[in-house]
Structure 1
Amino acid sequence: MIRVKKASGRLEPFNREKLINTLVRVGADEETANEIVSVIERRIWDGIPTSEILDRALTLLHKRYPPASIRYDLKRAVMLLGPSGYPFEDYFASILRAHGYIVEGVRMIIEGRCVTHEVDVVVRYKSERVFVECKYHNRRGIKTDLKPALYTYARLLDLNDQFDNAWLVTNTSLTTEAEKYLNCRNLLYTSWNHPEGLSLRELIDSCRLYPVTSLNLPHSVIEEMLAEGVVTIKDLINRGSKYLSLLMPNIDAKSLLNDLKRIS
């Protein structure tokens, strides 16, 4: 039996069906997904890191169906928004706008009863005003623990004359204790796979707002785009072919722009 090593170091059996389902979910047809997994199965060994499998599947998928490869390793693309958490805050604010939330601001300074707070994102939805606390990680295998849940609630207590609720958002998983506490205090939360309907993965896929780090572009180009506030593929499309030509003089900007439009 072939086992794979998770980012946490835990070993678990290689699951062919799980990998096929992942490939199909991002847009590959059943036949292509089965072909890719069959190729991978012939080249893996016991204890292979899941990151190695992801790299191999992504390379094969990109050759067969480039648009799907952008959605395949979305979790890693979000992690590449770092090392600071600022692009992630901007990215999540864009996701909220795409879902109909009114974003009042990002990184807002707000006076509480006792102290001054820098709030990552402030949003309104229907009659509620909510502040968002973003907890960003740029490495796999790290979970958001109880501490951010505790200080998110403490911040709400100091700001509850101005906000109806608080929302803790992370791009990885929450520990069981953190999730238990957030539910106990009736706080909103979003982690990579939870809760159903409000997970980060679902929020991204449902509005097709993919980060520029999904693209197979030089690291220096990605860094320049993020520094200029170009966080999503739609941001890049809105800048137009002239911006792409200035950023990457050696590419066919119009052709790339057309490819990006098909993705988003």
Structure 2
Amino acid sequence: MKITKHSGHKVPFDKEKLKLSLKKTGAGTDLIRDSLVEIEKQMYDGITTKEIYKLAFAILKKTSNGFAARYNIKLALQMLGPAGFFFEKFISRLYAEDGFKTKINLTLQGKCVSHEVDIAIIKNNIITMIECKFHGSKEGSSDVKVPMYILSRFNDLKAKRHTLFSNNETFDSCIIVTNNRFTKDAQDFANCTGISLLSWDYPQDNNLKNKINKGVLYPITCLTTLSTVEKEKLLILNQILVKDLIDDSQGLHKIGISKNRIKNILQEASQICKLI
């Protein structure tokens, strides 16, 4: 049986890949087995990956909001838009949780012109410039023009000293982050020129998906017990991660959520973060 990808290309159905994605939600062996059986019953030749996702999400949600939320991470990143400002904040938090000092939304003078820099980070006296490329749909990808353009900006900025975390500093490296994917040409150009890339599935062993799961750094937009409007209100209050709500639930009270719903939301948050 073949399935239709977001690009429109048809590829053979990979049961093991679907099984792995279900396993990463925290679902047990029995639930994974039963889910696969139910999904395969409803599949047909040419079914889209989006339809398969909806089937899996609905099955998981019947059992646990937490499982469904963890299955929802990639879509949750797309909800950190529309312009990607909250995606930049999310990426800043990812690095802060890994021991980096971070600053966001900087305007810095290069050797030739001024530039807006999404994020600057420092650890072990190494200062890195991070540029975020946000895509609001699954179809979007960052091609070779992205690292080519950012390389020129990086070269202009590193030729001059800045006041970032202290005085008289220079950028040592550059990372480009996207919530979707980089094309093969973009990866090859970045590798050749020394720029680092971070996307949903690249690099293979230390990609965005793995960083999120390993650090338990889930965005609040993955929660199924919150409405879209409620998620936006919490993001404005700077509650970016699910664990922010566990550490401090006052934001839920501030946006007018009832005590009973807060209890359900925190229960789902705890399930996602494996605290219960």
Band of TM-score, shorter chain: over 0.9
Contact 1:26 1:72 in 2 (8 A): yes
Q: Distance in 2 between matches of 1:262 and 1:62?
A: 12
1:107 aligns with one of 105, 108, 118: 105
1:153 aligns with one of 118, 132, 151: 151
Aligned residues: 261
Q: By how many angstroms is 1:250 displaced?
A: 6.7
Q: By how many angstroms is 1:174 displaced?
A: 0.6
Contact 1:54 1:73 in 2 (8 A): no
Contact 1:6 1:49 in 2 (8 A): yes
Q: Distance in 1 between matches of 2:72 and 2:17?
A: 14
More off after superposition, 9-18 vs 144-153? 9-18
- Partner SS for 2:136: coil
Q: By how many angstroms is 1:197 displaced?
A: 3.2
* Residue segments in structure 1 that go unaligned for 5+ positions in a row: none
Flag the 1:197–1:18 CA change in 2: closer, same or farther, 3 A: closer
Q: Which residue of 1 aligns with 2:191?
A: 183
Q: Which residue of 2 aligns with 1:135?
A: 133
Contact 1:225 1:231 in 2 (8 A): yes
Q: CA RMSD in A?
A: 1.6
Q: Which residue of 2 aligns with 1:95?
A: 94
* Residue segments in structure 2 that go unaligned for 5+ positions in a row: 160-169
Query: Which TM-score applies when normalising by structure 1?
Result: 0.93
Q: Which residue of 2 aligns with 1:253?
A: 262
Q: Which residue of 2 aligns with 1:36?
A: 35
Q: Which residue of 2 aligns with 1:199?
A: 207
| 1:122 aligns to 2:130 (yes or no) | no
Q: Which residue of 2 aligns with 1:24?
A: 23
Q: By how many angstroms is 1:258 displaced?
A: 4.0
Identity of aligned residues (%): 31
Contact 2:239 2:245 in 1 (8 A): yes
